[in-house]
Structure 1
Amino acid sequence: MTSILRGPDNPEVQPEMTRGIEEGNPQLSTVHSERSRLLGVAYRLLGSASEAEDVTQETYLRWYRLTPAERDAVKVPAAWRTRVLTRICIDHLRSARARREVYVGEWLPEPLPDADLARSTTLPRESAAHRDPVERVTLDESVSMALLVVLEKMTPAERVSFVLHDVFQYSFNEIAEMVGRTPQACRQLASSARKRVQDARSVTTSPGEHRRVNDAFKDAWVSGNIRGLMALLNPDVTAVTDGGGVVSAAVEPLTGHEQVARFFVDVMTRQPDLRVRAVTVNSEPGLVGIVGDKVLSVVSTVVRDGRIASIWAVRNPEKLSLWETAIAKETSL
């Protein structure tokens, strides 16, 4: 996965080379901030950090392919790049539907560790204080696995309208230009998407309670305590695992607390050297499974009424490269 920052004076500057000089170069700092915003938009639209990197890079490539005269004619370059990035994302979303039809098992969004979440998250473009609270989604919430899973069920136009308006606070006039619809149509698309999101957000759990239940689940899982696991799971809990056909995983979603509990105990039986750690996944309490220095899975959960109602376990190694890097950095410290 490449990570290239393209600046006004050097279209191929590595981000790590810019950090020490950004304070003395406001223009470069602005470009770096814009790139983070574009990454944040792309990740929320695509649910994939690697694709978000590729789309952001392609956006800057298209900008620097313009002639100097063409770039000078663009009144607001940042708006131009956002529009181009959004259109590329829409194309990706349309083609993703065909790719996921042949994907082995369930497809889940790529989970992010804290460091990469910070890199792909920027503040909204203006204060939301005057906005209707119903239309507000916090930046942390907008990358939660639960919300990303809901976004996956939307049409590309719904997803774009909701993310750009409710998360990044673009006007419907601006969004209409990007998606090729009328502002009123974009408003309706965002409203439809918002209803789906509100259903998924119907019950909230404090981070402390979420963490407490996850820790209890981890302890019961590691010890192979089926009854303990079942007591921590909602009777109609669902668990989705994503192996992508690369590693073993349940092809179909698991349902019911007994089936889910037995599945996790079986995982530990087959992999007795598995270490499970509490971590933050996409801004929320989660778990990571490690063997040696290898990350085998990242687990996200939804807790309702003191029990786990949903579990998403990402096992596809192609979606765990950022976690491999994060764990390796921790180990080297």
Structure 2
Amino acid sequence: MPAPTQPSSPQANAAASFDPLRPKLIRIAYRMLGSVADAEDVVQEAFIRWFAADRGAVHEPEAFLRRVVTRLCLDQLKSARHRRETYVGPWLPEPVVEPAEEEVDEDVTLPLMLALERLTPLERAAFLLHDVFGLGFDEIAETIGREAAACRQLASRARTHVRGARPRSEVPRQRGLEIAAAFFAASRSGDMDGLRRLLAADVVVQADGGGKKPAVGRPIEGVDAVMAFHGSLAQAFAETMSRMVRYATINGLPGFITLEGDTLQTTALEIEDGRIKAVYVMRNPDKLRHLPEAVH
């Protein structure tokens, strides 16, 4: 006679319905917050609320959990605004390093994530839920507590702000990584002529050290200023010997992960018309903790 089946615990039942939705919920939270750690914390809080909810009365768990996550993110963004204002140096979102075999996710590219930072929290929520995740304005209205017509206006205003952040032309992955390799070689070897050939005239460098690691205090704009900056780094690179960890797609952009002395760093390159238009460098160790242990 077969042994009687043991009843599942309430926590196991909650997890069974929640876990398949967790990746999608983290995608929403990361795009709202620009932080992997904060996104994971928000989604874990959503699970706690799901566990405590009357789940039998919830007809659409995914819609319910989207609302919970979005509202938690809106609460976070209110306090994050003050943290951004007191942040030391340029602020960049935490880098998401994508596996080589996956398609590039244009919704997490650094230019778009930075454009989202310029939106109000409600504009950001309406735009992401509608334009990125394809939700209707009635559901968005219920989620953020505004009329559907107001949500439509929020998304429209946001769309106007972020339109310029979309790439004008796609760079094939392999070509992008080839340019990243050429940039790494030229910048670390002091090949200034080779470096200049890679850069657009209006190139911009942004580096986020968060006050924890040395980084430029403001964006460096224009090819001459960027060349002078890399010229000043040539001696430092020669002394510390940058160690390549691996080339990677970082927030949808070609780039690489390196060790600069004892400092882990990601570098992502925005490429347009075959030239590097922007260089995004992350040095803040608090924003690199989520990377796999193998790269540390």
Task: Please indicate the TM-score interval, normalised by the length of the shorter structure.
Answer: 0.7 to 0.9
How far did residue 30 of structure 1 move?
Answer: 5.2
* Residue deviations 1:71-105 (CA, integer Å, cap 9, x gap): 33333232222111100101111211111111101
* Residue deviations 1:165-188 (CA, integer Å, cap 9, x gap): 111111111011111111111112
Q: Which residue of 1 aligns with 2:271?
A: 303
Tell me the TM-score normalized by structure 1. 0.78
1:72 and 2:41 are equivalent in the alignment: no
1:205 and 2:192 are equivalent in the alignment: no
Report the aligned-residue RMSD: 2.6
Q: Which residue of 2 aligns with 1:126?
A: none
Which of the residues 74, 77, 97 maps onto 1:113? 97
Mark the runs of 5 or more structure 1 residues left unpaired by the alignment. 1-7, 14-24, 119-137, 329-333
Measured in 2, the distance between the counterparts of 1:221 and 1:202 equals 25
1:178 and 2:143 are equivalent in the alignment: yes
SS in 2 for 1:322: coil
- Aligned-residue sequence identity (percent) comes to 41
SS in 1 for 2:161: helix
1:316 and 2:284 are equivalent in the alignment: yes
Map 1:1-333; keep pairs closer than 5 Å: 9=9, 11=11, 31-66=18-53, 70-114=54-98, 140-201=105-166, 203-207=168-172, 208-271=174-237, 272-276=240-244, 277-291=246-260, 296-327=264-295
Tell me the TM-score normalized by structure 2. 0.87
Contact 1:38–1:85, Cα closer than 8 Å, also in 2: yes
How far did residue 228 of structure 1 move?
Answer: 1.9
Mark the runs of 5 or more structure 2 residues left unpaired by the alignment. 1-7
Contact 1:108–1:314, Cα closer than 8 Å, also in 2: yes
Give the AA of the match of 2:258: G
Q: Residues 311 and 9 of structure 1: is their aligned pair in 2 closer, same or farther, counting only changes over 3 Å?
A: farther
Give the AA of the match of 2:162: V
Give the AA of the match of 1:103: Y
Measured in 2, the distance between the counterparts of 1:312 and 1:63 equals 37
Measured in 1, the distance between the counterparts of 2:101 and 2:285 equals 19
Q: Residues 186 and 223 of structure 1: is their aligned pair in 2 closer, same or farther, counting only changes over 3 Å?
A: same
* Residue deviations 1:23-48 (CA, integer Å, cap 9, x gap): xx9x9665322011111110111111
Contact 1:299–1:312, Cα closer than 8 Å, also in 2: yes
Measured in 2, the distance between the counterparts of 1:257 and 1:38 equals 40
Measured in 2, the distance between the counterparts of 1:289 and 1:217 equals 13
Measured in 2, the distance between the counterparts of 1:47 and 1:73 equals 33
Give the AA of the match of 2:31: R
Deviant stretches of 4+, over 6 Å = none
Give the AA of the match of 2:196: M
SS in 1 for 2:267: strand
Q: Residues 202 and 139 of structure 1: is their aligned pair in 2 closer, same or farther, counting only changes over 3 Å?
A: closer
How far did residue 9 of structure 1 move?
Answer: 3.9
Measured in 2, the distance between the counterparts of 1:268 and 1:317 equals 23
Contact 1:161–1:175, Cα closer than 8 Å, also in 2: yes
Contact 1:113–1:322, Cα closer than 8 Å, also in 2: no
How far did residue 63 of structure 1 move?
Answer: 2.1
SS in 2 for 1:149: helix
Q: Which residue of 1 aligns with 2:3?
A: none
Contact 1:226–1:262, Cα closer than 8 Å, also in 2: no
Moved more, 243-252 or 315-324: 315-324
SS in 2 for 1:321: coil
Contact 1:240–1:313, Cα closer than 8 Å, also in 2: yes
Q: Residues 115 and 309 of structure 1: is their aligned pair in 2 closer, same or farther, counting only changes over 3 Å?
A: closer
Give the AA of the match of 1:279: A
How many residue pairs were aligned? 285
Measured in 2, the distance between the counterparts of 1:326 and 1:146 equals 27
Contact 1:63–1:71, Cα closer than 8 Å, also in 2: yes
Measured in 1, the distance between the counterparts of 2:82 and 2:143 equals 23
